[in-house]
Structure 1
Amino acid sequence: MTEFENKSLAASPIKALCWFRKVDDTFVALNKTDNRQSLLDHLNTQNNRIQFTMEQECDKTIPFLDVLISKRNDKLLTSVYRKPTHSGQYVNYPSNQPNRIKRGIISTLTKRAIQISSINLQEEINHLKTAFTPPKTATHWWETTGSLRRAGGLTPSATEAPHI
C-alpha cells in the first residue's frame, strides 16, 4: 500500500499538505483552493481494486480513528471520539472479570484521554468517572462480597471495587 500511495501521490495534480494512514483509514489535509474531488478521482483511477471514499469535515470537525479533530483559528485540536452508537458500557461491573482487568480498562482509557486530548480533557475524565462509578446494585454487591470474604478469613483488598 505504501508503494501505491507514493506512486499515486507523486503523479497527482493535487499535492496533499499531509497524508496519514492507519490500515484502511487515511487522514488528508489539502489547501483550501485544492479540488478534493479531483484528488479522489485521481486515486480511484490508479488501481481498480483499490477504491477510496471521502468523508469531509462537518462544522470544522472530523473523526479519525478514535480522535475527533477540530479546526479552530487555523489550529488542529484533538479530543477523544466515540461513535454515536457508543453505549457508555465497558465491562459489567459485578461481572466475574478480575479486578486487575477492570483497573486496566480504567487506566488505559485515562491514558488515552491524556495522550489524545488537546481540549476537553476534564470533560473526558468526568465521563470516565461517571462510566466507572458502580451502580447501587454493584456497590451493594461489592460490600456484600467483601463482608462474606472477610467473614471467611480472606482479605478484603482483593474484592473491593477499584477507585478512580
Structure 2
Amino acid sequence: MESNLRINLVALKNAPIIAKIAILIYCVASLQFLCLTLGGIFFMIEPIFKPAIPLDAIIWIAAILFAYGGLKLFLAFKLLKRKNWARIGAVIVSALLAAFLIQGAINIAMVTQHAFFDIVKHNYGLVAEIVAASLLLLPQSRGWFASKRTSA
C-alpha cells in the first residue's frame, strides 16, 4: 500500500504540462502575496515618518490580508490534490484580485498622471494571477482536474 504523498506525486508527474505550470504559478503567487503582506505590515507599524494609521486599523488590515493569503495557500495545496472546486475557487479569487488591482492601478494612473501600463507592468502578482487563472481554464488542465479516479 502506497502512501498518499507518493500517490499525489505520481499523479502530479503524469499531469499535463499546462496544469503543472498553472499550479506552480499559483503556489508562487500565493507565497509572494504573503511575503509582501508581511513586509507591508512591517512598514506600516514602523514608518519612517510619523505614523499616519492607527494601530487598530493596522491590526485589522493585517488580519484580513493574512486570512486572504491563507485562503490562497489553501487553494494552492488543494490544486495539488486535483480538487476541481479548488480550481474554480482559484479562478474566482484570481479574477477578484485582478479586478481590484486593475481598478487601483487606474486610480493611481489618474492621480499621478503616469501611464496605466507602466504601473501594471511592475505588478508581477497581478500578471501571475491572470496567467494562472487562464491556464487553469484551458481544456488540458480542466480535463486533468475533472478526470475520474479508479478505486483500488
TM-score relative to the length of structure 2: 0.29
Give 1 or 2: higher strand fraction. 1
Of structures 1 and 2, the one with the larger relative CO (CA 8 A, separation 6+) is 2
Give the structure with higher Rg (CA). 1
Give 1 or 2: higher helix fraction. 2
TM-score relative to the length of structure 1: 0.27
